[in-house]
Structure 1
Amino acid sequence: MMATTTEAGTGAQVPSAGLRGRHNRTNPTFYWMVVPAVILFFALHTFPLLQGVFYSFTNYAGYGEWSFVGFNNYLALFRDDRVLDAYLFTFQFAIVATILTNAIALAVAVGLNARIKFRSTLRGVFFLPNVLPMLVVGYVFSYLFASVLPVLGQSLGIEALSTNILGSESLAWVGIVVVAVWQAAAFNIILYLAGLQTIPTEVYEAASIDGAGPWRRFWTMTFPLIAPFFTINMVLALKNFLMVFDHIVALTNGGPGNATTSISLLIYRGGFQGGEFAYQTANAVVYLIVIVVLSMVQLRFLQRREVAA
């Protein structure tokens, strides 16, 4: 029989303290599931991060001996034109790509959410770019930019498309933006579609009765109601574009010259190929802080907009 005690004043019987303690005891299976994951996370993520922070205060080249140099690596970053140019390009690319990706994804999602034929098929088609390997996509677009578009531009008399834009220092970043937006919009479309499914149809029916047009319904009802999905899409898109690497490797490899060298590519080249392991590790630490701060500020601002909406 279950041991019970009578609660004073009510007459109700409740389990005794000893029995409650046995029921509140954590199942050992919990530890067998969680502890290995924590160990792996620490060994493969946290420890390398701490090790990188440690080496950022040294002159370690990735091999051989090293010694402490204090904050010299961090101070040198602000005097390095390569780093400043890479930051400028990365932020320019990330801001433009984030805005275009969300604008296009939201427009496509709203269109797919309407009552059109082959809606399910079109959803699969639009999501296809997200599952394609970036290097394959990059090589395909490299061929298009180098061979197909110049021929098309010459036949149409469009001077801007008559040459390979990836070979132009002023236009190469545009080609990278096109490819990045084309691929990234697929994931954002799916998230916006999920958000649109949460809006009751009665809301649109009531708006139609009141005489609200499509544009007014979008700004006064649809957009405010999917504000949380807009927030997560903006934060994730900006974070991913700030860490752009494989798009550039596949399309321009940082060229022409250093016109499309991002922070991630600069860290990789200098740290693993240029003997600047400690210096570029300091660059990576600074960039980690920048991304975290920007993501937090962006999240806080957009969440306030959700409340205001």
Structure 2
Amino acid sequence: MESTVATKKAKADSKVESASTRKVKLKKVLSYAAFVGPAILFFIVIQIIPFLMGIYYSFTSWNGISSSIEWVGFENYKRIFTNDQRFFDSFLFTTKFMFAAVLISNIIGFSFALILNTALKTRNLLRTAFFIPNVIGGLLLGFIWQFIFVRGFAAIGELTNISFFLKPWLGDATTAFWGIVIVFAWQISGYMMVIYIAALQGVDTSLLEAAKIDGANAFTMLRKIIIPLILPAFTICFFLTISMAFKIFDLNLSLTGGGPFNSTQSVAINIYQEAFTNNNYGIGSAKSILFFLIVAIFTTVQVMITKKKEVEA
């Protein structure tokens, strides 16, 4: 009799415990949904749905306005590969710009990080000063530098007669290219600097002190100790700069508008003009899908290479 009562009591206790456990799990699920749910919803609405719609429109002939949408299959893609030299010219420009901008912005950012990681009294002020260009909008930044290149450099050139300042910086294809690279590196190097500083602060100082005792100079410590230890930061910075350089739009638009004679037209501007100026929304969508695949391939290969270097180091 006592064993039966004890069994019933144990079953009742287990039911109460399971009910309380379910309540706790439900509260956790609701709390997660309350915090993560809106973000997932906005991500689906703003990112996933437009991306899927873009894939659909890339197989259609639509002007972006008319209610009638004609399915054309792969005709848009065939037209891009067979009869759109300007798109490949813009891709060539963007690729060249990407390599130059990534290299220069990371060198500047890493150099700033090395300098400001030392015990300078003004390092906090300098970190803020170097990071400020990153918070300025691309359009505004482009118009500021357009004034500098056109008016500021011309005024300095007239006073000093230095050929560097007398060049038509935004009126020639070569100088316009390097002008965009300079402004991009000036804007983004401060952001890269912050990432590199965070990585440098995680380096064990005892390793550096031991290397100094063993007679290693600053360059040897940088090459053999510091860089191998902060390779994950290089992975992140290269990934960010590659994607940003490939997707450059507002800075390019405000500085040169793709000129002179479309010599500095980025892929993003080409897609924008195709879709919203020429009203070829289907071809513009097809170009954007191709561009997405190209950027995805570049960034994936870069991450794989740098991750492999991390393991080897």
TM-score by length of 2: 0.90
CA displacement 1:22-72 (0-9 Å, x = unmatched): 554444232333333333222222111111111110110112222111101
Is 1:119 aligned to residue 102 of structure 2?
A: no
Q: Tell me whether 217-226 or 135-144 shows the greater mean CA deviation.
A: 135-144
The answer to whether the 8 Å contact 2:139/2:250 transfers is: yes
Task: Give 1:35's aligned residue.
Answer: 37
Q: Choose from 164, 167, 171 the match for 1:163.
A: 167
Task: Give 2:59's aligned residue.
Answer: 57
Task: Give 1:76's aligned residue.
Answer: 79
Deviation at 1:136, TM superposition (A): 2.1
Q: Provide the rounded CA distance (Å) in 1 between the counterparts of 2:37 and 2:185.
A: 39
Unaligned runs of 5+ in 1: 6-14
Task: Give 1:180's aligned residue.
Answer: 184
Q: Provide the rounded CA distance (Å) in 2 between the counterparts of 1:40 and 1:138.
A: 30
Q: Choose from 297, 303, 312 the match for 1:308.
A: 312
Equivalent runs, 1:92-103 vs 2, <5 Å: 92-103=96-107
Task: Give 2:205's aligned residue.
Answer: 201
Q: Provide the rounded CA distance (Å) in 2 between the counterparts of 1:255 and 1:142.
A: 13
Unaligned runs of 5+ in 2: 1-8
Deviation at 1:158, TM superposition (A): 3.5
Is 1:285 aligned to residue 292 of structure 2?
A: no
Task: Give 1:142's aligned residue.
Answer: 146
The answer to whether the 8 Å contact 2:168/2:175 transfers is: no
The answer to whether the 8 Å contact 2:64/2:280 transfers is: yes
Q: Provide the rounded CA distance (Å) in 1 between the counterparts of 2:90 and 2:10.
A: 70
Higher RCO by CA contacts (8 Å cutoff, separation 6 or greater): 2
The answer to whether the 8 Å contact 1:176/1:248 transfers is: yes
Q: Which amino acid aligns with 2:227?
A: F
The answer to whether the 8 Å contact 1:62/1:276 transfers is: yes
Q: Which amino acid aligns with 1:77?
A: I
Deviation at 1:164, TM superposition (A): 2.4
Q: Provide the rounded CA distance (Å) in 1 between the counterparts of 2:23 and 2:156.
A: 76
SS of 2:62's equivalent? coil
TM-score by length of 1: 0.91
Q: Which amino acid aligns with 1:71?
A: F
Q: Which amino acid aligns with 1:108?
A: F
The answer to whether the 8 Å contact 2:109/2:192 transfers is: yes
Deviation at 1:180, TM superposition (A): 0.4
Task: Give 2:250's aligned residue.
Answer: 246
The answer to whether the 8 Å contact 1:146/1:163 transfers is: no
CA displacement 1:257-297 (0-9 Å, x = unmatched): 10111010111111011111110100000111111121111
How many positions carry a matched residue from both structures? 299
